[in-house]
Structure 1
Amino acid sequence: MSRARLTWNGDAALRGTREGAARGLRLAAEHILENARARVPIEEGTLERSGVASVDEQTLTAAVSFDQPYAVRQHEDMSLRHDAGRTAKYLEAPMTEQAGTVAEIIAAQVRRSLRG
């Protein structure tokens, strides 16, 4: 009769998974920010440069934001004219279009954390 001993390090596994998820969220938010910056209306580049990706590791939530007083109007007002390739909904469109990629980025980081 053979015996095997298994030690379950659940706390370490959960901690690693959480760290992987946070890392994945950060990479995913940066990915969305990059896509949004490519579309954000541009005149002087101020709005584009104000873009920030952030992650709250406690709640595992990510945010991408643009911090200019006119950012919301530029995003929401579909009647404004923009240079070619620049558009309203500069943040919403990448979020929708890149949803699958965002999920893949996060999943890859969680898998990576489970291997190490």
Structure 2
Amino acid sequence: MDDQTPKIYSKKAILGFSIFMSTLFGGILLYQNLINVRKKKEAYIVLGISILLTIISIIIVNIPENPKSYLAYVCGFAGGSLLSNYFVPKYFPDEEQYPKKEIWNPLIIAVMITAAFIALMVYAASVENG
């Protein structure tokens, strides 16, 4: 690859974000990779699958009487594995040839979104009990 080769997020980054945040986060990283290499149709397919997998994960995590948080990690690992071990090799068979993007920007965004959700949950609980 030459100097014009776009940077992409690595398979490990996609898997990690899928496990610790959600498959949607990992899917957005892969979506961004595909947009950067001008594979728009494939990018929207991956994004749609990521949204579907995230919805399925939410349903699975909330099926038990007492939701188990470990199920979110299991679902994230399953979805992230699909993204990083099926879709990345399918659309980036020479993935190791691409320079890798740093994960700091998506990590900061993910932490901010998570903090906002936590703040909303704390606020909702205080209003409910107030």
| TM surpasses 0.5 | no
Q: Which has the larger radius of gyration?
A: 1
Could you tell me the TM-score, scaled by structure 2's length?
0.38
Q: Which is richer in helix?
A: 2
Q: Which is richer in strand?
A: 1
